[in-house]
Structure 1
Amino acid sequence: MDRISAVADDALGEFDAVGLVEALRTGTVSPTEVIEAAIARTEAVNPALNGLAYEAYDRARTRSRRSHPYGGFLDGVPTFIKDNVAVAGMPTMEGTDAWEPRIAAEDGDFARAYLATGLVPLGKTLLSEFGFSASAEHPRLGPVRNPWHTEHTAGASSSGSAAFVAAGVVPIAHANDGGGSIRIPAACNGLVGLKPTRGRLPLDANMRQMPLHIVHNGVVTRSVRDTAAFYREMERVQRNPRLPAIGDVTGPSANRLRIAVCTRSIAREASPEVTELTHKTAAVLERLGHHVTAIENPVPERFMDDFLLYWSFLAFALVRGGRRTFGQSFQRSQLDNLTLGLERHAARRLHRLPAALARLARIRRVTSRLTASYDIVLTPTLADVTPRIGHLDPTADYQQIIDRLIDWVAFTPLQNATGEPAISLPLAESASGLPVGMMFSAAHGEDARLLELAFELEQAQPWPTLWT
């Protein structure tokens, strides 16, 4: 198995973000040493992983040499930002090369808050075109590869971020999720990936303009404490007063939970291997004293058709408004078959969109009944194990791509529509040695409960890294 690890005997060592903060504060390592180590690690593994969209090494070096702290708990910790949010001094290419790059004059709303935590960006990471696919396989730039086995996809759309964190390039990286794009690459790469409650973190203006806010910003990390610390710090920077505070979650809760387990998505039953692994996770929960009940999926089958129509409408808006949005250099002919196929799908069904949007807006009524009876719902993150590169080839026939996407990404879109939080944890491993994610969802605003349970499971069943 071709595994790629960047971990070396350098200033980053095997630190997670919280551990690195302590090392920086005690002077065990210096900010300059940390940034140079992260740059060296990026350069060492990017030829194999292909996760880098844009490098900003000089900017990171300049910042690391500043004599005074910038503030924020995560001050000095290297990171990457996914290439679909605005960062001053960097272009935003959305995983495509359909227009000429333009440098952003200022940070978008998300980057402004993200960087206020003290994180230092080394650049931007690759994603699938506009984030539409669950595998980043750019026709010209090539695929983003999984560091656990480079013949397999790193998932998507936050693929470059997840590949770099899993390989040990940086301990934490930005990801966002419009149909599973934090949780999918977290599952593929053996990481922690929390999609927060809608409104928990800021969105850039272009994402706020969507008729239904399905996109959620977040991060991927190797440890639960890094994810918890990130949300605590973001809350200090910019808290949404309409949501319950997450606060400083540092470990498990003593409360025993009512947990529902379901291995059938709206589209299909999970594969036999993934179903078995999910039941093994349920058994761990029972041993920990939680009350676990198997349930049938209560979500109507129509949901997937409605979500696909809305997803394809977003492609329709981007393709038809390409020159207005991205400038006169925009070329439709440079887009991949998935984007163009989604645009055609929407064009033929625009008359159905208002009703689909209305049903999507109401779907939380179904999950609210579920969360009234159960504190947590456990499902697999994905319906099958991580596929090889080429399974979701964006140059293939559209119908093949979309059928395979719906078949694999069958569990994650629900929480994008409801706005409820969900976290993928790397609690299982396939027969071939690849990570398999387990997904836990909770009621609106109950992000802290998910983190408490994540801490408990991490202690009960620690997950490996590539170098352990």
Structure 2
Amino acid sequence: MDDLLRLDAVGQAQAVKDGLVSARELTEAAIAAIEARDGELNAVIFRRFERALAEIDDLPADAPFRGVPILLKDLGWRQAGEPYSAGSNVRDGLTDAADGYGVVRLRAAGFVVLGRTNTPEFGSTITTEPVAFGPTRNPYDLAYSAGGSSGGSAAAVAAGLVALATASDGGGSIRIPASMCGLVGLKPSRGRVSLGPAMGEGWNGFSCPGFVSRSVRDTAAALDVVSGYHPGDPYDAPALPGRLALEAGADPGRLRIGFLTAHPRGDVPEAHAPAEAVTRTAALLAELGHDVAPGGPEALGEPDFTRHFGAIVADNLAAQVVSLGELRGEPVRPEELEPRNAAMAAAGRGHSAADHILATQWVDGFRRRMVAWWSAGHDLLLMPSLGVEPFPLGWIPPGDLSIALGRTAHAVAFTSPINATGQPAISLPTHRTEAGLPVGVQLVAAPGREDVLIRVAAQIEQARPFEHRAMG
């Protein structure tokens, strides 16, 4: 049964269809893996094993992923009447009235939801070490972070507990855990996957739902399942030419690709392993026949980005805290929050409505300046997924906000601008440090062009297959 758990989700689904394993047996195997291995990882914080087993008989017989186990990130991906913490004790006892649209689609596709994965409080940092649930550990080295905010999902997939888990990305929260845990992580285009019905947008559209997986074809097929506009959504991503699953293996043609190993802003120290990963991947892409040259959008070096991006996130966090107080019938006190979020919420409350609008207008201009580089004839931008070396647990200190915010700003320097532009970007596990820790590279496509990302990602995967040595 361990061999079946080592398959990707598409492979597991085929094994069920071929009668090699039943949906119940596959689910029971994943449950056994979680029970055996998650004690040291702390990736799965809510378990619904009995309910999951009871739901198997009701799965549609012709569902494409019938019987494939999946875990949901405990941020977004809401389930009616079930625990939902968003990484915080503040939400104790609060549940949602309806399933999220993405969860509805996952169930219709035949996935079996086994539980929810750990995340930092409100997803506001790059390491999964919430006070409410404790740290999630990296399967490659238990002393290291699995990244954040989708760290629980990434650790679970990397360790072989499930083949696929949901995630979300507001500043790098899919791509950074994917990089640190040796996985594929695609942040979709803004509007590709609905946040409804509970929300219209997250962080002014910066945040997008997605997945972490061990294969490009899993990421493509899973996005096919959950993508689509719902009436009332504030955004609708540009239409794709067809199903993304069909793009995995399709010839990408000869593409024009720029690459960056150092951040053009100049205040982000170059990290050796991420830079080496980009250099090696650039060489591979050139070998594969693409036109590859140093360079990227000039706008990426604009010094005001961090200030405006941070202000918008703080404003949204302040509003979230107020909303939580209204939901539970009692205002949230600062001491109930982790120090980072208490400080960010206070900063948000200090901004005026005019301040917020001016920040969003600046980002509107930044978006146009950024995407002009793709409109001028480039197809892809290659750069690090993580702006720092893989880091241990505790590297983002909860008690020293100055150090924590500075280190976080460096870590997300290559990812957060792509949340602001709404473009699709994928992290691929192409490199290891000397100590064996995974390091990913990020490819960014023009708005709406997930199809290009999947074609090239699959081409890289074919040329240099990804290794997943952390699976038990």
Fold match (TM-score > 0.5) = yes
User: Please, which moves more after superposition, 261-270 or 164-173?
Assistant: 261-270
Q: CA deviation at 1:270?
A: 2.7
Post-superposition offset of 1:467: 5.4
Mapping of residues 209-358 of structure 1, within 5 Å: 209-210=201-202, 212-235=204-227, 242-247=238-243, 248-265=246-263, 266=265, 267-295=267-295, 297-299=297-299, 300-328=302-330, 330-350=332-352, 352-358=355-361
Is the counterpart of residue 32 in structure 1 residue 24 in structure 2?
yes
Pair 254,199 (structure 1): closer, same or farther in 2 beyond 3 Å: closer
Amino acid at match of 2:217: R
Match for 2:432 among 421, 429, 432? 429
Residue deviations 1:64-108 (CA, integer Å, cap 9, x gap) = 244x63543112110011112221231211001123223333212
Q: CA deviation digits over 1:193-245, x for unaligned, max 9?
A: 01111111111344415572111111110011111111233358979684224
Pair 279,10 (structure 1): closer, same or farther in 2 beyond 3 Å: closer
| One of 193, 205, 213 as aligned partner of 1:201 | 193
The counterpart of 1:106, out of the listed 98, 104, 113, is 98
- SS at the partner of 1:138? coil
Q: How does 1:366-445 map to 2 (within 5 A)?
A: 366-372=369-375, 373-393=377-397, 395-445=398-448
Q: Structure 1 residue 348: deviation in Å?
A: 3.5
What residue is the counterpart of 1:5 in the other structure?
none
2:410 partner SS: helix
Q: What's 2:73 paired with?
A: 82
Aligned partners of 2:293, 2:328: CA distance in 1, in Å? 49
Q: Which amino acid aligns with 1:422?
A: A
Alignment of 1:112-123 (within 5 A): 112-123=104-115
Q: Which amino acid in the other structure matches residue 402 of structure 2?
A: Q
1:111–1:69 CA distance, 2 compared to 1 (3 A): closer
Provide the identity percentage: 34
Q: Which amino acid counterpart does residue 268 of structure 2 have in structure 1? A: R
Q: Give the TM-score, by structure 2 length.
A: 0.92
Match of 1:4 in 2: none
In 1, the alpha carbon distance for the partners of 2:444 and 2:82 equals 34
User: Cα–Cα, structure 1 residues 296 and 15, in superposed 2: closer, same or farther, change >3 Å?
Assistant: closer
- What 5-or-longer segments of structure 1 have no aligned partner? 1-8
Cα 1:332–1:245 shift into 2, 3 Å? farther
RMSD between aligned residues: 2.1
CA contact 1:191–1:425 (8 Å) conserved in 2: yes
Between the aligned partners of 1:345 and 1:275, the Cα distance in structure 2 is 34
Give deviations 1:139-187, integer Å, cap 9, x for gaps.
2421111111110000011111111001000001100111111111111
1: CA distance, partners of 2:166 / 2:221: 14
Counterpart of 2:72 in 1: which secondary structure? strand
1:231 and 1:246 in contact (8 A); partners too: no
Q: State how far apart, in whole Å, the 1-side matches of 2:358 and 2:85 are.
A: 32
Quote how far apart the aligned CAs of 1:409 are: 1.6
2:158 maps to 1:166 = yes
Helix, strand or coil at the partner of 2:90: coil
User: What residue in structure 2 maps to residue 175 of structure 1?
Assistant: 167
Alpha-carbon contact 1:60-1:121 (below 8 Å) kept: yes
- Contact 1:72 1:233 (C-alpha < 8 Å) held by counterparts: no
8 A contact 1:319–1:332 mirrored in 2: no
CA distance in structure 1 between the aligned counterparts of 2:329 and 2:34, rounded to whole angstroms: 31
Partner of 1:18: 10
1:45 counterpart residue number: 37
In 1: Cα distance, 2:229 partner to 2:356 partner: 37
For 1:332 and 1:62, how far apart are their aligned partners in 2? Answer: 41
Matched AA of 2:378:
Y
The verdict on how the C-alpha distance between 1:244 and 1:209 changes in structure 2, with shifts beyond 3 A counting, is: closer
**3-state SS of 2:204 partner:** coil
Distance 1:310 1:237 in 2: 25
SS at match of 2:94: coil
Contact 2:367–2:421 under 8 Å retained in 1: yes
* Aligned positions, number: 458
